[in-house]
Protein backbone atom coordinates (compact mmCIF):
# COMPACT_ATOMS: atom_id res chain seq x y z
CA UNK A 1 0.00 0.00 0.00
CA UNK A 2 2.82 2.37 0.78
CA UNK A 3 4.23 1.68 -2.68
CA UNK A 4 0.86 2.42 -4.31
CA UNK A 5 0.59 5.70 -2.38
CA UNK A 6 4.01 6.80 -3.67
CA UNK A 7 2.88 6.16 -7.25
CA UNK A 8 -0.11 8.52 -6.98
CA UNK A 9 0.21 11.63 -9.13
CA UNK A 10 -0.33 15.16 -7.89
CA UNK A 11 -3.84 15.25 -9.38
CA UNK A 12 -4.78 11.92 -7.82
CA UNK A 13 -3.71 13.11 -4.38
CA UNK A 14 -5.50 16.44 -4.88
CA UNK A 15 -8.80 14.84 -5.89
CA UNK A 16 -8.68 12.54 -2.86
CA UNK A 17 -8.08 15.38 -0.41
CA UNK A 18 -10.05 15.14 2.84
CA UNK A 19 -13.34 17.01 2.41
CA UNK A 20 -12.82 18.58 5.85
CA UNK A 21 -9.91 20.55 4.37
CA UNK A 22 -12.27 21.92 1.72
CA UNK A 23 -14.83 22.88 4.38
CA UNK A 24 -12.09 24.63 6.37
CA UNK A 25 -10.92 26.65 3.36
CA UNK A 26 -14.51 27.71 2.54
CA UNK A 27 -15.08 28.64 6.19
CA UNK A 28 -11.96 30.83 6.17
CA UNK A 29 -13.09 32.46 2.91
CA UNK A 30 -16.38 33.40 4.59
CA UNK A 31 -14.97 34.48 7.97
CA UNK A 32 -11.91 36.53 6.98
CA UNK A 33 -13.85 39.23 5.03
CA UNK A 34 -15.64 40.18 8.26
CA UNK A 35 -12.27 41.21 9.67
CA UNK A 36 -10.31 42.19 6.54
CA UNK A 37 -12.20 44.10 3.86
CA UNK A 38 -10.91 43.04 0.44
CA UNK A 39 -12.83 45.67 -1.49
CA UNK A 40 -14.65 43.67 -4.13
CA UNK A 41 -16.72 46.06 -6.30
CA UNK A 42 -20.49 46.18 -5.76
CA UNK A 43 -22.25 47.53 -8.90
CA UNK A 44 -25.41 49.50 -8.14
CA UNK A 45 -28.59 48.57 -10.00
CA UNK A 46 -31.14 51.10 -11.24
CA UNK A 47 -33.85 49.80 -8.89
CA UNK A 48 -31.70 50.62 -5.86
CA UNK A 49 -30.39 53.91 -7.25
CA UNK A 50 -33.93 55.17 -7.86
CA UNK A 51 -34.79 54.77 -4.15
CA UNK A 52 -31.59 56.54 -3.16
CA UNK A 53 -32.27 59.42 -5.57
CA UNK A 54 -35.82 59.82 -4.25
CA UNK A 55 -34.64 60.13 -0.64
CA UNK A 56 -31.81 62.45 -1.69
CA UNK A 57 -34.41 64.80 -3.16
CA UNK A 58 -36.46 64.97 0.06
CA UNK A 59 -36.29 67.87 2.50
CA UNK A 60 -36.35 68.05 6.33
CA UNK A 61 -40.08 68.78 6.10
CA UNK A 62 -40.80 65.49 4.34
CA UNK A 63 -41.88 62.29 6.09
CA UNK A 64 -40.92 58.69 5.27
CA UNK A 65 -42.37 55.44 6.66
CA UNK A 66 -39.96 52.52 7.02
CA UNK A 67 -41.97 49.40 7.86
CA UNK A 68 -39.98 46.32 8.92
CA UNK A 69 -42.61 43.70 8.14
CA UNK A 70 -40.56 40.57 8.73
CA UNK A 71 -39.50 38.02 11.34
CA UNK A 72 -36.08 36.63 12.34
CA UNK A 73 -36.05 33.98 9.59
CA UNK A 74 -35.33 36.61 6.91
CA UNK A 75 -33.61 39.25 9.05
CA UNK A 76 -30.09 38.51 7.70
CA UNK A 77 -31.24 39.88 4.33
CA UNK A 78 -33.70 42.56 5.41
CA UNK A 79 -32.19 44.09 8.55
CA UNK A 80 -29.19 45.53 6.64
CA UNK A 81 -31.66 47.16 4.21
CA UNK A 82 -33.59 48.80 7.02
CA UNK A 83 -30.34 49.92 8.62
CA UNK A 84 -29.06 51.53 5.42
CA UNK A 85 -32.27 53.40 4.58
CA UNK A 86 -32.86 54.54 8.16
CA UNK A 87 -29.33 55.93 8.28
CA UNK A 88 -29.81 57.67 4.96
CA UNK A 89 -33.02 59.34 6.19
CA UNK A 90 -31.31 60.52 9.39
CA UNK A 91 -28.34 61.81 7.42
CA UNK A 92 -30.70 63.81 5.19
CA UNK A 93 -32.71 65.09 8.21
CA UNK A 94 -35.83 63.54 6.70
CA UNK A 95 -38.53 62.86 9.31
CA UNK A 96 -38.82 59.09 9.65
CA UNK A 97 -41.50 56.83 11.10
CA UNK A 98 -40.12 53.38 11.92
CA UNK A 99 -42.67 50.63 12.51
CA UNK A 100 -43.55 47.00 11.88
CA UNK A 101 -46.71 45.07 11.11
CA UNK A 102 -45.07 41.89 12.47
CA UNK A 103 -44.87 41.24 16.20
CA UNK A 104 -41.17 40.34 16.02
CA UNK A 105 -40.30 43.44 14.01
CA UNK A 106 -39.87 46.10 16.73
CA UNK A 107 -37.50 43.90 18.71
CA UNK A 108 -35.37 43.32 15.62
CA UNK A 109 -35.04 46.95 14.56
CA UNK A 110 -34.83 48.58 18.02
CA UNK A 111 -31.02 48.10 18.37
CA UNK A 112 -30.48 49.42 14.83
CA UNK A 113 -32.59 52.51 15.51
CA UNK A 114 -30.82 53.23 18.78
CA UNK A 115 -27.36 52.81 17.26
CA UNK A 116 -28.11 54.99 14.23
CA UNK A 117 -29.73 57.70 16.38
CA UNK A 118 -26.65 57.76 18.58
CA UNK A 119 -24.27 57.91 15.60
CA UNK A 120 -26.15 60.82 14.02
CA UNK A 121 -27.17 62.47 17.31
CA UNK A 122 -30.87 62.33 16.49
CA UNK A 123 -33.73 62.50 18.98
CA UNK A 124 -36.75 60.21 19.08
CA UNK A 125 -39.94 62.21 18.62
CA UNK A 126 -38.14 65.11 16.95
CA UNK A 127 -36.09 63.59 14.12
CA UNK A 128 -37.80 60.22 13.99
CA UNK A 129 -40.44 58.23 15.83
CA UNK A 130 -40.44 54.52 16.62
CA UNK A 131 -43.93 53.03 16.68
CA UNK A 132 -44.95 49.94 18.69
CA UNK A 133 -46.45 46.79 17.25
CA UNK A 134 -50.23 46.92 16.97
CA UNK A 135 -52.26 43.81 16.19
CA UNK A 136 -54.10 43.80 12.90
CA UNK A 137 -51.66 43.57 9.96
CA UNK A 138 -53.77 44.94 7.05
CA UNK A 139 -56.16 46.58 9.53
CA UNK A 140 -53.28 48.70 10.83
CA UNK A 141 -52.49 49.86 7.29
CA UNK A 142 -56.17 50.65 6.74
CA UNK A 143 -56.50 52.52 10.05
CA UNK A 144 -53.53 54.70 9.11
CA UNK A 145 -55.59 55.87 6.12
CA UNK A 146 -57.79 57.79 8.56
CA UNK A 147 -55.59 58.92 11.42
CA UNK A 148 -52.08 57.94 12.51
CA UNK A 149 -52.59 59.23 16.04
CA UNK A 150 -55.73 57.14 16.54
CA UNK A 151 -53.92 54.05 15.27
CA UNK A 152 -50.91 54.45 17.60
CA UNK A 153 -51.87 55.99 20.98
CA UNK A 154 -48.20 55.89 22.10
CA UNK A 155 -44.79 55.33 20.56
CA UNK A 156 -42.58 52.30 21.22
CA UNK A 157 -41.26 53.85 24.44
CA UNK A 158 -44.69 54.69 25.83
CA UNK A 159 -44.71 58.41 25.07
CA UNK A 160 -48.19 59.72 24.23
CA UNK A 161 -48.47 60.29 20.51
CA UNK A 162 -49.98 63.75 21.07
CA UNK A 163 -46.76 64.78 22.81
CA UNK A 164 -44.49 63.82 19.91
CA UNK A 165 -43.65 66.84 17.70
CA UNK A 166 -42.89 64.88 14.53
CA UNK A 167 -46.43 63.54 14.15
CA UNK A 168 -48.47 66.62 15.05
CA UNK A 169 -49.08 67.58 11.41
CA UNK A 170 -49.57 64.02 10.16
CA UNK A 171 -53.09 62.77 9.61
CA UNK A 172 -53.21 60.22 6.79
CA UNK A 173 -51.24 58.96 3.79
CA UNK A 174 -51.46 62.30 2.02
CA UNK A 175 -48.86 63.56 4.49
CA UNK A 176 -46.15 61.03 3.57
CA UNK A 177 -43.54 61.38 0.85
CA UNK A 178 -42.35 57.77 0.69
CA UNK A 179 -43.28 54.40 2.17
CA UNK A 180 -40.77 51.55 2.14
CA UNK A 181 -41.88 48.07 3.17
CA UNK A 182 -39.20 45.50 4.03
CA UNK A 183 -40.66 42.02 3.89
CA UNK A 184 -40.14 38.35 3.18
CA UNK A 185 -43.85 37.87 2.49
CA UNK A 186 -46.49 39.60 0.38
CA UNK A 187 -47.13 42.41 2.86
CA UNK A 188 -45.74 44.89 0.33
CA UNK A 189 -49.08 44.44 -1.46
CA UNK A 190 -50.98 45.68 1.61
CA UNK A 191 -49.22 49.04 1.45
CA UNK A 192 -49.70 49.16 -2.29
CA UNK A 193 -53.45 48.52 -2.02
CA UNK A 194 -54.29 50.86 0.86
CA UNK A 195 -51.63 53.60 0.64
CA UNK A 196 -50.35 53.95 -2.89
CA UNK A 197 -53.50 53.34 -4.89
CA UNK A 198 -55.93 55.62 -2.97
CA UNK A 199 -53.42 58.36 -2.09
CA UNK A 200 -50.63 58.07 -4.65
CA UNK A 201 -47.89 57.85 -2.02
CA UNK A 202 -44.54 56.90 -3.61
CA UNK A 203 -43.72 53.29 -2.71
CA UNK A 204 -40.57 51.17 -2.58
CA UNK A 205 -39.79 47.80 -1.08
CA UNK A 206 -36.97 45.63 0.17
CA UNK A 207 -37.49 41.90 -0.27
CA UNK A 208 -35.56 38.66 0.00
CA UNK A 209 -33.57 37.67 -3.06
CA UNK A 210 -35.94 34.82 -3.87
CA UNK A 211 -38.89 37.26 -3.99
CA UNK A 212 -37.24 39.95 -6.09
CA UNK A 213 -38.61 38.68 -9.42
CA UNK A 214 -42.17 39.21 -8.14
CA UNK A 215 -41.58 42.96 -7.73
CA UNK A 216 -40.45 43.86 -11.24
CA UNK A 217 -43.99 44.09 -12.70
CA UNK A 218 -44.85 46.68 -10.03
CA UNK A 219 -41.73 48.67 -10.91
CA UNK A 220 -42.47 48.48 -14.64
CA UNK A 221 -46.03 49.69 -14.01
CA UNK A 222 -44.73 52.64 -11.98
CA UNK A 223 -46.40 51.54 -8.76
CA UNK A 224 -43.01 51.11 -7.07
CA UNK A 225 -40.17 53.54 -7.60
CA UNK A 226 -37.56 50.90 -6.82
CA UNK A 227 -36.56 47.77 -4.94
CA UNK A 228 -33.77 46.34 -2.83
CA UNK A 229 -33.37 42.64 -3.56
CA UNK A 230 -31.66 40.46 -0.99
CA UNK A 231 -28.34 41.12 0.72
CA UNK A 232 -26.89 42.44 -2.53
CA UNK A 233 -29.51 45.20 -2.66
CA UNK A 234 -28.62 46.24 0.88
CA UNK A 235 -24.91 46.25 0.01
CA UNK A 236 -25.63 48.42 -3.03
CA UNK A 237 -27.42 50.94 -0.83
CA UNK A 238 -24.54 50.97 1.66
CA UNK A 239 -22.25 51.76 -1.27
CA UNK A 240 -24.45 54.70 -2.26
CA UNK A 241 -24.52 56.21 1.24
CA UNK A 242 -20.80 55.43 1.64
CA UNK A 243 -21.27 53.35 4.78
CA UNK A 244 -19.92 49.83 4.47
CA UNK A 245 -21.68 47.90 7.19
CA UNK A 246 -23.47 44.55 7.64
CA UNK A 247 -24.50 43.97 4.03
CA UNK A 248 -21.13 44.87 2.52
CA UNK A 249 -19.32 42.49 4.86
CA UNK A 250 -21.89 39.78 4.17
CA UNK A 251 -21.54 40.19 0.40
CA UNK A 252 -17.74 40.06 0.63
CA UNK A 253 -17.99 36.81 2.57
CA UNK A 254 -20.51 35.41 0.10
CA UNK A 255 -18.50 36.48 -2.95
CA UNK A 256 -15.24 34.98 -1.69
CA UNK A 257 -16.99 31.75 -0.77
CA UNK A 258 -18.39 31.56 -4.30
CA UNK A 259 -14.94 32.28 -5.78
CA UNK A 260 -13.35 29.48 -3.73
CA UNK A 261 -16.12 27.02 -4.68
CA UNK A 262 -15.71 27.88 -8.38
CA UNK A 263 -11.93 27.39 -8.10
CA UNK A 264 -12.48 23.99 -6.49
CA UNK A 265 -14.83 23.01 -9.33
CA UNK A 266 -12.28 24.10 -11.96
CA UNK A 267 -9.40 22.32 -10.21
CA UNK A 268 -11.51 19.17 -9.75
CA UNK A 269 -12.40 19.07 -13.44
CA UNK A 270 -8.82 19.65 -14.53
CA UNK A 271 -7.70 16.85 -12.21
CA UNK A 272 -10.38 14.50 -13.52
CA UNK A 273 -9.39 15.14 -17.14
CA UNK A 274 -5.67 14.77 -16.35
CA UNK A 275 -6.26 11.40 -14.66
CA UNK A 276 -8.61 10.22 -17.43
CA UNK A 277 -6.07 11.14 -20.10
CA UNK A 278 -3.35 9.21 -18.30
CA UNK A 279 -5.53 6.10 -18.15
The vertex-257 CA angle with 254 and 262, nearest 5°, equals: 125
Query: Do 160 and 31 fall into the same domain?
Result: no
Q: Work out the pLDDT band at 13, boundaries 50, 70, 90.
A: confident
- The count of residues in the chain is 279
Which CATH number characterizes residue 210's domain?
3.40.50
pLDDT at 152 over 50: yes
pLDDT at 75 over 50: yes
Query: Do 28 and 112 fall into the same domain?
Result: no
Query: Do 111 and 156 fall into the same domain?
Result: yes
- Report yes or no on 249 lying in a domain: no
Query: Do 103 and 173 fall into the same domain?
Result: yes
Residue 10: domain span: 6-37+254-278
* Largest Cα span, the chain: 86
pLDDT at 11 over 80: no
Residue 89 to residue 55: CA distance in whole angstroms: 7
pLDDT score for 1: 47
pLDDT score for 184: 92
pLDDT at 253 over 90: no
Query: Number of structural domains, the chain?
Result: 2
pLDDT at 171 over 90: no
pLDDT score for 16: 79
Q: Which residues contact 128 (CB under 8 A, 6 or more apart)?
A: 86, 89, 90, 95, 96, 97, 98, 113, 117, 122, 166
pLDDT score for 65: 96
Residue 132 to residue 105: CA distance in whole angstroms: 9
Residue 152 to residue 241: CA distance in whole angstroms: 31
Amino acid sequence: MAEDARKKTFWERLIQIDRRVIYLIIALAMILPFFFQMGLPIPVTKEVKDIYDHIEALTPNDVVILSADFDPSVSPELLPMFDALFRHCLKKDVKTIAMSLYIQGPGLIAPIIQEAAKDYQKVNGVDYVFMPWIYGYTLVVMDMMEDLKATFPTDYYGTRIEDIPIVKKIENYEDYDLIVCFTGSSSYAWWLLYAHEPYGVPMATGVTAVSAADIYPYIQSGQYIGMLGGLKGAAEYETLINEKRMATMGMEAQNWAHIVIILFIIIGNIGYMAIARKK
